[in-house]
């Protein structure tokens, strides 16, 4: 925690801000990108969200209270930014976020930035059919292997509710794959 406080100090001090931010960027860009990408599916959208996330981090670092780890805080911003983008895109088409995701996942086969095999494609289509919260929880638990406690901080949901969501999601995916 002491090290984090020092790092936050470096991020807010004009003399060291640039160096500290560069460090933050190179350390977390990939992890945040893959988290965002699983939410928005499309690379271009993930790119927009990643850039917005880091800009928001820079603009709001002075308001960071240090109650959680900086990574959890950034993860939260990234998740909100990704969901905001989904909301914006789906509203433009007059459809729900879930419908937008299903639409994007249906295009994965022809997406040059998707390299998965038939099974991975089927898997993604099954995930896309989940309600938004379950999809988030499933991605964070299954792919990112995030602990429920950490997930609870990011999604502001109790650990019990997250476990239930994951359980439901797994059952739905199994069913969809075996159909």
Interacting residues with other proteins (CB under 8 A): 14-15, 17-18, 21-22, 25-26, 29-30, 33-34, 37-38, 43, 47, 50-51, 54-55, 58, 113-117, 120-121, 123-124, 143
Q: Which is nearer to other proteins, 115 or 149 (CB)?
A: 115
Closest contact distance (angstroms) between CB of 35 and other proteins is 10
Q: Rounding to the nearest 10 degrees, give the CA dihedral for residues 93, 98, 102, 103.
A: 10
Q: Which is nearer to other proteins, 63 or 67 (CB)?
A: 63
Closest contact distance (angstroms) between CB of 4 and other proteins is 21
Of 56, 57, 66, 52, whose CA–CA distance to 9 is shortest? 66
Judge whether 88 and 48 are in contact, CB under 8 Å: no
* Alpha-carbon span 35 to 100, nearest angstrom: 18
Q: Which is nearer to other proteins, 5 or 51 (CB)?
A: 51
Closest contact distance (angstroms) between CB of 127 and other proteins is 9
Q: Which is nearer to other proteins, 64 or 161 (CB)?
A: 64
CB burial class (10 A; 0-12, 13-18, 19+) of residue 2?
A: exposed
Main-chain dihedrals φ then ψ at residue 50, nearest 5 degrees: -60, -45
């Amino acid at each position: 925690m002491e090290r984090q406080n020092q790092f936050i100090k470096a991020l807010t001090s004009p003399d060291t801000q640039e160096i500290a931010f560069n460090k933050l960027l190179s350390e977390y860009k990939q992890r945040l990108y893959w988290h965002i990408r699983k939410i928005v599916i499309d690379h271009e959208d993930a790119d927009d969200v990643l850039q917005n996330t880091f800009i928001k981090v820079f603009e709001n670092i002075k308001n960071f209270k240090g109650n959680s780890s900086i990574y959890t805080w950034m993860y939260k911003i990234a998740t909100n930014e990704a969901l905001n983008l989904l909301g914006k895109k789906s509203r433009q088409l007059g459809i729900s976020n879930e419908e937008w995701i299903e639409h994007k996942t249906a295009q994965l086969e022809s997406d040059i930035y998707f390299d998965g095999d038939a099974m991975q494609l089927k898997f993604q289509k099954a995930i896309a059919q989940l309600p938004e919260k379950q999809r988030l929880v499933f991605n964070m638990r299954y792919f990112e292997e995030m602990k429920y406690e950490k997930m609870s901080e990011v999604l502001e949901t109790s650990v019990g509710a997250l476990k239930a969501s994951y359980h439901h999601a797994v059952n739905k995916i199994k069913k969809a794959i075996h159909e």
